[in-house]
Amino acid sequence: KRIGYAVVGLGHLSLEQIIPALGGCKKSKLAALVSGSPEKMKRVAEMYGVTPQNCYSYENYDKLKDNKEVDVIYIVLPNGLHKEFVVRGAATGKHILCEKPMANTAEECREMIAACNKAGVKLMVAYRIQFQPHNRKLRELVQKKELGEPKFVEASNCQSSANPDHWRHKLKLAGGGALPDIGLYCLNTTRFVLGQEPEEVFAYQYSTPGNALFKEVEEVMSWQMRFPGGIIANCSTHYNVHESRHYRVLCEKGWANMDKAYAYKGQSLSRAKADGKMELHENIGLAEVDQFATEIDHFSGCILDNKQPFTPGEEGLQDHIIMEAIYKSAREGKPVKLAKENPLAGKK
């Protein structure tokens, strides 16, 4: 059986990545659409063979409850709408896949997790990098200590944006600026690669005065995370510079580097290692896969085998807890400690 997905929100990510990826999935298929634009939905439905009775508006979305072809609701709306649609979606009894960032606040994440637990449905946050082979390989190198003890991480995810009217620049719909949108990749991928949770953060934030793009949300966030054993991650994200997405993990006996780290494709993994007096530098070539299809099939596999997803709701909650500490540190100009207990305890 292929798991049927209802895709909610037909914006760039749905139309350019998710819906095409569903066509290449092995365990998953597109079953229904939910949109606020009937004309756009009709066009998309005809293109992908979705029947008119499997097309829903935001108002009659709750009727998905009666649709036997739908097993999963995939939320691909602006961040500020994730909570409402996850909570309503869980009440239909369907499993939920939710785009990153999970919500606007940690409190919203808690409500979403509680709603899914109450309904007895699975909840996964779409952290595609955790399913991407080059990033998984780098994680393996680091966690197997092939380059010695990890000591330091440099991670940066930057791009430029031009439209101040877009929801990404409205605090209520975006929940923040560069940090929750793209800086989140540095945060989540660093945690994933190290397999550890930060104990403390320290941050610096800036927005150019008078720039309409950054009236409500931050332009740049630069932050450090200290992990157990003293590993420091130096992270940065910017909404007003040329695209740049990379990270490097510096270890005692070598380093591993990822270029185009958080992109949809084109990841480039390399490592350097001391060998006596020689410095070995190696590119590690791996086959490209569709990250979106891999991630979606992972969730379908969890449903078919009744397993917990690798990136459950608690993964999204933990990132929001850390992002709130980052904002607090930037506001107060001092380091902020994180609680030792985290929502992922016993989950991974």
| Cβ at position 23, least distance to ligand NAD in Å | 18
313 touches ligand NAD (CB under 6 A): no
152 touches ligand NAD (CB under 6 A): no
Q: Which residues lie closer than 8 Å to 203 by C-beta, 6 or more apart? A: 221, 222, 223, 224, 326, 327, 329, 330
76 touches ligand NAD (CB under 6 A): yes
Kindly state the tokens that stand for 181. 């949108």
Q: Which residue number, 222 or 291, has a Cβ lying nearer to ligand NAD? A: 291
122 is catalytic: no
Catalytic residue among 83, 94, 100, 122: 100
100 is catalytic: yes
Question: Residues in contact with ligand NAD, total (CB under 6 A)?
Answer: 19
Phi, psi of 228 (to 5 degrees): -55, 145
Beta carbons of 179 and 323 less than 8 angstroms apart: yes
| Cβ at position 51, least distance to ligand NAD in Å | 21
| Cβ at position 264, least distance to ligand NAD in Å | 7
Q: Which residue number, 122 or 245, has a Cβ lying nearer to ligand NAD? A: 245
Catalytic residue among 56, 61, 185, 262: 185
Separation CA 66–CA 87 (nearest Å): 17
Kindly state the tokens that stand for 204. 């610096």
Phi, psi of 266 (to 5 degrees): 85, 15
Residue 37, burial from CB neighbour count under 10 angstroms (0-12, 13-18, 19+): exposed
Among 78, 89, 176, 254, the residue binding ligand NAD under the rule CB under 6 A is 78
Neighbours of 179 (CB within 10 A): 27
DSSP 3-state percent helix, strand, coil across the chain (nearest 5): 40, 30, 35
99 touches ligand NAD (CB under 6 A): yes
| Cβ at position 12, least distance to ligand NAD in Å | 3
Interface stretch with ligand NAD, choices 7-15, 44-52, 218-226, 266-274 (CB under 6 A): 7-15
Among 48, 152, 167, 310, the residue binding ligand NAD under the rule CB under 6 A is 167
Interface stretch with ligand NAD, choices 11-19, 48-56, 319-327, 337-345 (CB under 6 A): 11-19
Q: Which residue number, 215 or 337, has a Cβ lying nearer to ligand NAD? A: 215
**What is the three-class DSSP state of 148?**
strand
Q: Which residue number, 97 or 249, has a Cβ lying nearer to ligand NAD? A: 97
228 touches ligand NAD (CB under 6 A): no
Q: Which residue number, 128 or 191, has a Cβ lying nearer to ligand NAD? A: 128
Residues 181-220 as x/- pattern, contact with ligand NAD by CB under 6 A: x---------------------------------------
Residue 245 bridge partners (DSSP) = 157
Q: Which residue number, 128 or 246, has a Cβ lying nearer to ligand NAD? A: 128
10 touches ligand NAD (CB under 6 A): yes
Q: Which residue number, 159 or 196, has a Cβ lying nearer to ligand NAD? A: 159
- Among 183, 170, 173, 182, which Cα is nearest to 213's? 170
Between the alpha carbon of residue 100 and those of residues 104, 234, 257, 295, the distances in Å are 10, 22, 24, 13
| Cβ at position 333, least distance to ligand NAD in Å | 28
- Among 24, 23, 74, 71, which Cα is nearest to 303's? 71
Measured over the CA atoms of residue 210, residue 326, residue 98 and residue 18, the dihedral's sign is positive
Kindly state the tokens that stand for 294. 């891999």
- Among 169, 197, 187, 174, which Cα is nearest to 344's? 197
| Cβ at position 77, least distance to ligand NAD in Å | 5
Interface contacts to ligand NAD, rule CB under 6 A: 9-14, 36, 76-79, 81, 99-100, 126, 128, 167, 173, 181
Q: Which residues are catalytic?
A: 100, 185
